[in-house]
Amino acid sequence: MTGFGVGDVRDVPERWPTEGAEEVFSGHVFRVRRDRVRMPKGDGTEVVGRDVIEHPGSVGILALDDRDRVLLLRQYRHPVGHYLWEAPAGLRDVDGEPLHTLAARELLEEAGYRAGRWDVLLDLFPSSGMSDERTRIFLARDLVRVPDDEIDFERVHEEADMPVVWVPLAEAVRKALAGELHNMIAVSGVLAAHAARADGFTGLRPVEAPEG
């Protein structure tokens, strides 16, 4: 395919027609449906089945302190059978809640910090071939530690014991490229923060910026 240039490299909304859909699974966090999608084929079209995971969406927080360190916490992830070092994150599980408000709540509950400066770092579709999940990653700065007795949140199950470590940003980049970190939000956020830091973070969007 030809006719595209660098200026055309921008994701745009598009929706191919569907001939119908059925629910395959409904769980606590997500649902699965099977769409019958009409797709191009040669000079015509054909109807093809595609399974879609319906996900409420999520936010992530790349917290960067005044010593140029990022906050990572360790959490057990059963599907992949690993302890992963991750950035704080959470589901969009409150209807109408602004995303930066959700991010601030997750940073406080999971890590015990408040941030005085918030910017949008990245917007992602983490697994666009199978899920409609959207993830917005924020950069949080001007951090203040909140005493544990001022945080009204009980950590249970996977969140019951999450060690927190501050890692120099350059070292976090090295760990990501060396395959020592695997969490999507942590790796994407670390690499994006490292790139954004080159121009003093002046290219970042405000927290109210719409998702594309």
Q: DSSP string spanning 11-75?
A: -------EEEEEEEEE-SS-EEEEEEEEEEETTEEEEEEEEEEE---EEEEEEB-TTSEEEEEEE
Cα separation, 82 vs 102, in Å, equals 26
Cα separation, 137 vs 121, in Å, equals 5
**159: annotated active-site residue:** yes
Active-site residue (options: 159, 171, 208, 211): 159
Q: Catalytic residues, which ones?
A: 159
